[in-house]
Amino acid sequence: MSIRDEPLNDKIWLVTISGRLDQSQTDDLQTLLHNLISGGHHELIVDLAEVSYVNSGGLRCLVTGWREANNLGGQFVLCCLNSRISEVFSTVGFDQVFRIFSTREEAEQQISIT
């Protein structure tokens, strides 16, 4: 399990999470997202391609980041969810809250044109 972050271009910041998105990672992820957003990186893509598991704590962490970015007029989008992770999101209707894209390129394109 790990969390990586890097600039994708001069506007968008990319956060890549792998492994289990549960209590083992939420503190680190919450801190990272807060630091990025409060540090001026309001346009974020969170890549979940390598996430094998997510629980309500993981969802709560993503919602907090999404809310923080939105409040500052930014964008917080997700990409590359596998079918099982997608099912968890749709179980609670979070697929309607987040903007979710199939690929990283698609997410990047959508942020760039808005």
Spatial separation of the C-alpha atoms in residues 36 and 16, rounded to whole Å: 13
Q: Does 17 bind another protein (CB under 8 A)?
A: no
The residues in 61-90 that bind another protein, with binding defined as CB under 8 A, are 63, 67, 70-71, 84, 88
Give me 11's structure tokens.
Answer: 């506007």
Spatial separation of the C-alpha atoms in residues 112 and 99, rounded to whole Å: 14
Q: Does 114 bind another protein (CB under 8 A)?
A: no
Among 5, 18, 30, 57, binds another protein (CB under 8 A): 57
Spatial separation of the C-alpha atoms in residues 29 and 113, rounded to whole Å: 27
Q: Does 35 bind another protein (CB under 8 A)?
A: no
Among 5, 18, 22, 30, binds another protein (CB under 8 A): 22
